[in-house]
Every structure is written in C-alpha cells, then in structure tokens.
Structure 1
Amino acid sequence: MAFGDKPSKVVRRRAKRPISGALGLLIVGFWLLMALAGPWLAPHGANALVSFEVFGPISLEYPLGTDFLGRDILSRLLHGAPYTIGVALAATILACLFGVVLGLVAAASGGWLDAAISRTQDALIAIPNKIFALIMVASFGSSVPLLLVMAAFAYMPGSYRIARAVAVNVMTMDFVQVARARGEAMPYIMFIEVLPNMLRPVLTDFGLRFVYVVLLLSAMSFLGLGVQPPDADWGSLVRENIQGLGEGASAVLAPAIAIATLTVGVNLIIDSFGARAKREMEN
C-alpha cells in the first residue's frame, strides 16, 4: 500500500475488533471444557482424604491446597464444575427456550392470549428470585433436578419479556407482512421469518441469564440449600471452607475466583456483541 493511502475497510474492521471478546471466549471455553472433562482430569476423587493436614498450603502435590477435611481442593474444584456450569447451563437453556417460544406466541397472536401470557409472566417476575428459590427448597427439599427446574422457572419471565419486545418489533416489518399475505402458517412466520431476525438480542439475553443463574445457584449452595454433600459445587466449596480463610485462604479463594472468572468471561463475550453491533451500524 502506497504511503498516504487509506487502509481498506477490512483492515480497519480487524483493527477495531475487540480483544475482550476473544478473551471471554477463551475463558468460557476453558470452563466448559472443565465441566465436561474435569472429573476425569482431577488427580484425586472428589471426597478422597489425601492429607492429614487440614487447610494445607499450596504445594506441588496439592496445587490449590487442601480443605477442612484434608481433601484436594483442585480435585474438588474440577468435580464441582459440572454442577456449577452444567446445571446453570441447562437451566438457562430451559428458561430461554420457554421464554422465547412464549414471547413469539404472544407477539404473533396478540389480543387476549397475549394479555393472558403477559400478565402471568408479570406476576411471576414480581417474585424475587432468591425468595422464590427459598420457598421451593423449603417446600420440596434440595436436589439437582429441583434446582434446575427452580432456576429455569425463576428466570423464564425475564427472557419472555425480552423476546416478546423484540418479536413485536420484527412482526411489523415488511417481510413478515409479505409472509402473511402469502398465507404462510403462523409457526412458519414465528420460527422462520421472525426468530432468525432476533437471534442477537436473544443470545445476549441468554448470556446474562446464564450469569444470573450461576450466581443464584452459588448463593443457594453458600447458604447450604444448593447441591448437597457428598457432592459439591463451587458455592458449597466456599461455604464449607469459609472458617479456614485465615489459615487456608486458597480453599476459599479458588472456587470464588472460578465463579468470578466464569461470569467475567461471559460478560466479555456479551460486551463484544454490543461492540460488533455498534460497528455494523457505523459502517
């Protein structure tokens, strides 16, 4: 390129591409891999008593130290990844799936059906999520299936509101009106014409819901109402070792940092979506 020439649009776009999105993908990809392969990569069993020293220091044998019973923190962290990430991911998928479908149905139908669905979701969203979770656990006990259903039900109304708001706007566009004039069935209009044109806000909302669900489940486990012993997720690892913060800080900090990095990684990906949309509007 000759001196004084302007860089091409492709070069400028690459120069503006945020590194934060790639970093977020790297962090989230790492933890997803740990959720899948963590139990097989763990050097010890989740409940194996490997040391007589409780809250042992970081060493080559125990890279993250030991907990209040002398168990390896690294192994406990890896065994807890499927519970923290897997349950949260499944609950988020269910919440967004039902929320988006209900939002599409309400936006496409209108009238009394739209009003009935919207008022029902408004009533549900008025209940604080933690209060709802405490009521569910107090009523039915704590189990992994209950935590999954509870988290999905708690965050479905928020997903519905986002999906309906976007779907109502898309429904007014010309290509949807053309599809209606052709006599296309309502399921075709909802899932072929409307849904592909609302994927970006839906995916952004999915990322936010996932972060909320991770924090909710971790808070429930910290209160002793989440995943029950002998199983453990990252929130329960913080709770059971909190009394040793002064002498074995790594037993508390390791799962706390894992939760923090996972949520930060997801937020970096979401921010990169917003930056990309802004660049597309500018170009």
Structure 2
Amino acid sequence: MKNIPLAALIGLFFTGLYFLMAIFAPLIAPYGMAEVVGDVWEPPSDQFILGTDSIGRDLLTRLIFGGQTTIFIATMATLLSFVTGATLGFFAAVTGGWVDQVISRFVDLIMSIPSLIFALVVLSVMPTTLTILIVLMGLLDSTRVYRLSRAVAVDITVMEYVEAARLRGEKTVWIIFREILPNALSPLVAEMGLRFIFMVLFISTLSFLGLGVQPPQADWGGIVKENKEGINYGIAAALYPAFAIATLCISINLVADWILNRTTSLKGGRG
C-alpha cells in the first residue's frame, strides 16, 4: 500500500466514499427519500445544499438514496453474473466435447441480441422490481463472464497440475474450485470492476428510459430523467447524478487497473 499510485489512491477514495454513503444512507440523508420539503427546483442554499428537484424534494437526499439503490443493484447483479458465468465457463472448459459446444452456442445466441433491447423487451412484460432487475442484468452479463472464464480455463486445463489432478481421480468440482479458480482470479477480479461499471451504466440507462427503478424509489438514472427538463432553464439538477455516475465508474476503473497490475505480470491497458 505504500507504493500505491496516485490514480489508484484517488479511485479507492471515491469508491470507498460512495459505498460508505450507500451503506449509511438513512443516517446521513437530511430528509426522507420521497419527502417534499420545498418548491420546485429551488437553488442551492443552507437548507438545501444542492437545491430541490422537479417536485420539491431535497436533491442531496435523493442522490444519497439513489446511490444506495444503484450500487446495491449493480453489486448484486455483478456477483450473480460472476457466479453464473464463471461456474459455467469453468465447467465447459473442463468437460469439453458436446457439453462445451452446447453451452457456448447458447451463449453466442444470447450475446447476438443487444443487452439493452433484450432487457427492454423482458421488462415491458414483467413487473419491474429490484429482484427482477438484478436477475435479468446478472444473467445477461453472465454471458460475457462465461466467455472470459472459459478462455482462461481452457489454457489452465492443459497444465500439468490439472492433468495430475485428473490422474488422481479428482472430480470436476475439485478441479474447478481447487485447481482452476485460484489460477484464474487475476483476470476475473479485474473484469469484475469493468462488469460493475457496466451494471451501473445499465441500470441507469434502464431507469432513464422508465423501465428501471420505479418512483418513488430513487436511483441516479431516474433522477436524471426526473430533472432533465430543468437543463432547458439552466438548472443543473440533472447534472449531479450524471457526475456521480461518471466519478464512480472512473474510480472503479482506476482500482481495477491497479489490482490487475498488482496481481498479474500483464502491464498496460486492458482495452
């Protein structure tokens, strides 16, 4: 930690700040999430640090609770995508044959459909709850994790220690979790940061389009949608959540880059 780069330090600071605000949102928010406390689009003041939104709710409070919702959904969806995608990817690589082909072709089919269009179609006929959003986003993104996990695992399965485990009669589960997973963590950890960024942008996009988090619950994409008309009148209410999304994504990317450089011999950008 003494040699941590400045960029990674900045990323850790803002990432930690956002996560702490999400965890302790009910304690630090000055007002209730849906409480109307002033007039429409009041300017920043001592009472309202960032002003009010399109119906008179405290904008800082909405941002804090919106961050809690956005980060929670993105975190849970990322974990689901990695558990599902990595497990299937490792299983396909270890098993090989027709099992690998069937899983891979099914993943190719899902990936051929743009994720946003797929999500919009599903959400247009299903109730938009947090559980549905997390499951849908996690499963859609697990296809990308599957591709990475399988590619990494295919290289590892030809190693001598994996062949030795097979000759000892070890089961597939043992080979996956005791031989492949420990040696595949570096690219997966780095990719997890990128997948989390994608989840933040994905849920924000869905909410902006009206099919994500539903009012009166707050999330950053929804706050942009609620206040976008104010931009025509020089009101910056919609810019605050956009800034939060940008800074969180940049911070996570800086941390992911640092982790990748610390845990592998691969240097430079990840493209």
Deviations 1:179-211 (A, max 9, x none): 222222221111011101000111111111111
* Residue 42 (structure 1) aligned with residue 10 (structure 2): no
Q: Which residue of 2 aligns with 1:264?
A: 250
* Residue 249 (structure 1) aligned with residue 235 (structure 2): yes
In structure 1, the gaps of 5 or more residues are: 1-12
* Residue 87 (structure 1) aligned with residue 73 (structure 2): yes
The alignment yields a C-alpha RMSD, in angstroms, of 1.9
Q: Which residue of 1 aligns with 2:213?
A: 227
Check the 8 A contact 2:84/2:139 in 1, yes or no: no
Deviation at 1:277, TM superposition (A): 5.1
**For residues 19-168 of structure 1, what are the structure 2 equivalents within 5 Å?**
19-51=6-38, 53-168=39-154
Moved over 4 A (4+): 277-281
Q: Which residue of 2 aligns with 1:211?
A: 197
Q: Specify the code of the residue in structure 2 equivalent to 1:198.
A: A
Q: Distance in 2 between matches of 1:248 and 1:57?
A: 11
Relative to structure 1, is the Cα distance of residues 150 and 171 closer, same or farther in structure 2, using a 3 angstrom cutoff? same
Q: Distance in 1 between matches of 2:87 and 2:234?
A: 48
Q: Which residue of 2 aligns with 1:6?
A: none
Check the 8 A contact 2:22/2:64 in 1, yes or no: yes
Deviations 1:101-127 (A, max 9, x none): 001100110011111111111111111
Q: Distance in 1 between matches of 2:94 and 2:261?
A: 30
What secondary structure does 2:24 align onto?
Answer: helix
What secondary structure does 1:172 align onto?
Answer: coil
Q: Which residue of 2 aligns with 1:191?
A: 177
Q: Which has the larger displacement, 263-272 or 178-187?
A: 178-187
Q: Rg bigger for which structure?
A: 1
Relative to structure 1, is the Cα distance of residues 252 and 31 closer, same or farther in structure 2, using a 3 angstrom cutoff? same
Select the residue among 171, 187, 190 that pairs with 2:157: 171
Deviation at 1:234, TM superposition (A): 0.6
Deviation at 1:246, TM superposition (A): 4.3
Q: Distance in 2 between matches of 1:146 and 1:14?
A: 43
Name the count of aligned residue pairs. 268
Q: Distance in 2 between matches of 1:128 and 1:90?
A: 21
Deviation at 1:273, TM superposition (A): 2.8
- Percentage of identical aligned residues: 43
What secondary structure does 1:137 align onto?
Answer: helix
Q: Which has the larger displacement, 169-178 or 92-101?
A: 169-178
Q: Distance in 2 between matches of 1:108 and 1:60?
A: 61
